[in-house]
Amino acid sequence: MSGTHYDRAPGDESAELEEGTSFGVPIYTIGLVLAVILTATSFWVANTTLLWGPGVPVGLVVLAIAQMGVHLVFFLHITTGPDNTNNVLALAFGVLIVTLLVIGSLWIMANLNDNMMLSPELMNLHAQH
């Protein structure tokens, strides 16, 4: 194993061809077909009456996660191989940051909503004047 195996830019086709990986038109075509199928299925799930109403959001979340997986594997080529450790760690860190931001924002908005409203006693006092 040479030192240049790990020291290459993402998308460096010459290094990928030397390693024997098959990144190319067939991989992108498979990814495109899967993405189109998942997108069409999402539209079908949202517009059908065959599914139980409360199950529609769950189905859309599952299809969205599958769509993200297709994009990560087929278009961004993020795998669990030893040469992609940094990519997987960067992805995990990004997911962590986005999760913290969403949860923190929802928590702050919920607390601001409760704290910005006048208490019933103050509202009655304000209404009397």
Mean pLDDT of the 112-129 span? 72
How many independent structural domains does the chain possess? 2
What is the model's pLDDT at position 113? 66
44 and 7 inside one domain: yes
- Tens digit of each residue's pLDDT (9 = 90 or more) over 34-46: 999 999 999 999 9
**CA nearest 84: which of 4, 10, 3?**
10
47 and 30 inside one domain: yes
Judge whether residue 129 has pLDDT over 80: no
127 and 96 inside one domain: yes
Handedness of CA 14, 18, 22, 25 (dihedral sign): positive
- Tens digit of each residue's pLDDT (9 = 90 or more) over 61-105: 999 999 988 998 888 888 777 777 788 788 889 899 999 999 999
102 and 63 inside one domain: no
Judge whether residue 114 has pLDDT over 80: no
